[in-house]
Chain A
Amino acid sequence: DAKTTQPTSMDCAEGRAANLPCNHSTISGNEYVYWYRQIHSQGPQYIIHGLKNNETNEMASLIITEDRKSSTLILPHATLRDTAVYYCIVRPLWEGSARQLTFGSGTQLTVLP
């Protein structure tokens, strides 16, 4: 699976947009980009995923660059409850590949009041 690179930590003011970058320069054409987050002492929570196009759901937006080598997760109006470790993961689409998620170290996002 392609490796991902994320900043170790970021701060964001409450009510502002949080933009979390992820570099996945070795991604192949049949790999999805997934984002999960993990609030302290809880299980990881699925946020969003995408292949080529930008995606939006009730939690966040995912912007994938045209060359697919990087992406940005956007939390439009961060709240204190969004403080968590955010993981960017790339994962193959096809069934013959490894199915597990490979987590890196993630980005610790701290939303400040």
Chain B
Amino acid sequence: DTGVSQNPRHKITKRGQNVTFRCDPISEHNRLYWYRQTLGQGPEFLTYFQNEAQLEKSRLLSDRFSAERPKGSFSTLEIQRTEQGDSAMYLCASSFSGGPETQYFGPGTRLLVL
């Protein structure tokens, strides 16, 4: 078990471009979460999936953001028409539902929008 992985680790893009991030969860975990973290702040929840179903979305997830988990395994987070305010660390976490449901985080993808 190699833990949660995220790709790319770093992304620099120009304002207005689209970007896509990938998260591979721990293999037996059925839940997958996306968070965003800006400098000096704690992570903030964006959305989560149970298997392939997207069960909750934060108000932070504007209509320029879309997340998918098509086969209940890996997930992608796409940001369309990026803005400078989208610059942040995007974190993925996975867990197995039931009990205390501990979430395990990946290393994150750091996005810089120029």
Q: What's the A-B contact tally at a CB cutoff of 8 Å?
A: 58
Q: Closest CB of chain A to B4's CB: distance in Å?
A: 8
Docked CA distance A66–B107 (Å): 36
Docked CA distance A87–B48 (Å): 21
| Prevailing SS type, chain A contact patch | loop
Docked CA distance A51–B45 (Å): 23
Total contacting residues, chain B, CB less than 8 A: 28
Q: Closest CB of chain A to B90's CB: distance in Å?
A: 10
Q: Which chain B residue shows the least CB distance to A95?
A: B97
The range of chain A's interface size is 20 to 34
Residues of B within 8 A of A87 (CB): 42
Docked CA distance A100–B31 (Å): 11
Q: Which chain A residue shows the least CB distance to B91?
A: A43
Residues of A within 8 A of B (CB): 32, 34, 36, 41-46, 49, 51, 85, 87, 93, 95, 98-106
